[in-house]
Chains A and B, each alone.
Chain A
Amino acid sequence: MSLAIATNVTPQQNWLERLGAGHIILAVALVLYPLVASDFFLTQIGGYSLIFGMLGLSLMLLAGYGGMVSLAQITVAGIAAYAIAILGSNNSNVLGFGWPWWLAVPFALLSAALASALIGWISVRTEGIYTIMITLAIATATYYFAQQNYAIFNGHSGYAGIRAPAFWGIGWRDARPFYYLCLGLAVLSYAAVLYGSRSTFGMTLQAIRDNPRRMRALGYHVTAHKVFAWALAGIIAGLAGVLLVWFNGRVSPGTIGVDAAIDVLIIAVIGGLRHPIGPFLGAVVVVLMQTFAIDIVGAERFNTLIGMVFLVIVFVSPDGILGLWGRIKPHLAQESLRPGQ
């Protein structure tokens, strides 16, 4: 992988050097962003990009490392969101156990991981385009089930009145705290994926992507490794789902519709699937477009515009924005990113 950040790791580097100039600049910029951004830019742009970046990251983990392209990541996030609504409190008078957030969140993440593992277990028999088809079928089926089931999902209206927690004297739905909450969890997920890519399990996943037959001939239970990857991706998607429902205060079948599922795929592909930073880049582009392009080109032409941007990026650079970056990087590296002597 040719990337501008965190490459060429040699043992004599200290931790600051190993982190890479790119990572440090990015981290400082993201931490200082609230100093210049309005509340709208903090949440609608910043928070949303980080949340959808995490959804894209969960897809990148499956697709980039595991070769399994899923359209069901928003479904998994939705399951965590519904779990928060049902286990915690809401104002829909259907279900609502009133659990505190610190109990509801682990259970929401657990349900997301289990649901994701189940979706993975169903779809690991398939490959390539068929994985996309079967996960799309699962996403669509879940959407319609949620819409028609009133006992658990409360039908098409779903749940509203869900509140983000308040502790340490902070209301975590307020613009700044919410942005930092999203940033913290996004960085945590990103770092975990980046570290995990070189772990034993990360390597087994990439090896299975490259050659599952050989992995069997080395003693690996390929299906078990794939399903475990789905469970891990489910935790990240679940975290995104929790943030989403705290931010919106509501969850309904619309949250987990097919268009949202496709948004996640577009984000991951536009950003690039070869490095965990890719989905976050893609999320910023798509969220900015969704927020501002609608005003410019109108709602009807908006999907045409997204589709065209998608086509152009995939056409110019199959590796998404990351691929473009990789092409301009050699010049950058010579001019500014070279470690000083």
Chain B
Amino acid sequence: MTESFAANRLQSSGAYALELDGVARHFGALVALSGINMRIAAGERRAVLGSNGAGKTTLFNAVTGDFLPTSGRIRFFGEDITDLPPHERIRRGLRRTYQISQLFKGLSVLDSIFLACRGVSRRRFSLLRPAITDVNMVQAESILNAVHLEAYRDTLVATLSHGQQRQLEIALALAGAPRFILFDEPAAGLSPTERRDLVAILNALPKHIGYIIIEHDLDVALRVSEYVSMMHNGRLFKEGTPQEIEADPEVQEIYLGGKHG
């Protein structure tokens, strides 16, 4: 498998949103990620499953540059982004959410989303107050509505409930014309209603926006993705449609145990 990817290395093209070749990440002696080869077509929606500590979040950190990979190359729409700092990757259309919400507790909900829109546009250093009619403010308002937080427009982020904070996490990733999004367990800790909202939001995304979603619940994964990758001990060990994965005996044994069998 590694060899075939190595052979294909030079054939990369813009048709892939994301290409990972031999990506590894070590924390001291701990190998959190090793030999990850992955190709995701533009607009593809992929679920990544795996037990806790499998290396899923580390994979996201390597792609966004939060932590650089120890070895391997990463291409985004054909461009090698392995050595780019995080903000440069984001400006190329990559977005992410965090498993543990990373928000601005001293800002209002609308201002947070506004900053998310402004981050990939111009006038990031403007010393003027943004007008209500500012293009990024208008975008922020419409994202606010899309994630159903309009009632909390001027609320301080620190006072939001867990579910609302998770929605804001998603809002921040939707801002500013994303091309590809990494969702890190967006459904964790959500109520059934909030989960339904989440599935609706994901399914309502424009078709050209691809994503990877880390999701423990195979039923949720089935409804928001066409393809599933399984991770275990820092390696990708199986790929297939949700139905194939659910039926695979090896997957049953390693990951799902008796839960789904």
Contact = CB atoms under 8 A, between A and B. Distances in A.
A199 B85 contact: no
Contacts of A207: 104, 107, 112, 115
Interface in B2-28: none
Contacts of B65: 216
A218 B176 CA distance: 9
B127 A219 contact: no
Interface in B149-205: 172, 175-176
Contact of A219 (B114, B119, B129): B119
Given A201-B127, A217-B64, A206 B119 contact: no
Interface of A is mostly: helix
Nearest to B126: A200
A210 B106 CA distance: 7
A41 to B, nearest CB: 35
Contact of A196 (B107, B127, B176): B127
B90 interface: yes
A3 to B, nearest CB: 14
Given A200-B118, A200-B128, A206-B107, A216 B172 contact: no
Contact of B124 (A204, A210, A216, A217): A204
A214 interface: yes
A18 interface: no
A221 B127 CA distance: 16
A218 to B, nearest CB: 4
A180 interface: no
Interface residues of B, number: 36
Given A203-B107, A210-B105, A213-B102, A218 B129 contact: no
Given A216-B85, A220-B87, A206 B125 contact: no
A201 B86 contact: no
Given A204-B115, A221-B87, A214 B129 contact: no
Contacts of B172: 214, 218
A97 B17 CA distance: 61
B126 A201 contact: yes
Interface in A197-241: 198-204, 206-207, 209-211, 213-222, 225, 228
Contacts of B128: 199-200
Interface of B is mostly: loop
B66 A218 contact: no
B102 A225 contact: no
Contact of A201 (B66, B104, B125): B125
Contacts of B208: none
B215 interface: no
A217 B98 CA distance: 10
B125 A200 contact: yes
B223 interface: no
A214 B102 CA distance: 6
A15 interface: no
A18 to B, nearest CB: 13
A213 B128 CA distance: 24
Contacts of A214: 98, 102-104, 172
Nearest to B118: A200
Nearest to B128: A199
A40 interface: no
Contacts of B98: 214, 217
B119 A215 contact: yes
Contacts of B86: 216-217
Contacts of A211: 102-104
A219 B102 contact: no
A38 to B, nearest CB: 39
Interface string B94-117: 011010001111110001101110
Nearest to A228: B125
B115 A203 contact: yes
A213 B66 contact: yes
Contacts of B107: 203, 206-207, 210
Contacts of A213: 66, 102
B42 to A, nearest CB: 20
A219 B112 contact: no
Among A195, A214, A218, A220, the one with the most B-chain Cβ atoms within 10 Å of its Cβ is A218
B87 A206 contact: no
Given A209-B106, A211-B103, A218-B115, A198 B129 contact: yes
B66 to A, nearest CB: 7
B249 interface: no
B120 interface: yes
A26 to B, nearest CB: 23
Interface of B: 64-66, 85-87, 90-91, 95-96, 98, 102-107, 111-112, 114-116, 118-120, 123-130, 172, 175-176
Given A200-B115, A201-B127, 17 more contacts: A198-B129, A201-B125, A201-B126, A203-B107, A206-B104, A207-B107, A214-B103, A216-B87, A217-B66, A217-B102, A218-B119, A219-B119, A220-B119, A221-B85, A222-B87, A225-B124, A225-B125
12 contacts: A199-B126, A200-B125, A200-B127, A201-B126, A204-B124, A206-B104, A207-B104, A210-B103, A211-B103, A217-B90, A219-B176, A228-B125
- Give me the 6 closest cross-chain CB pairs, A-B, nearest first: A219-B119, A218-B119, A219-B90, A214-B102, A200-B126, A210-B104
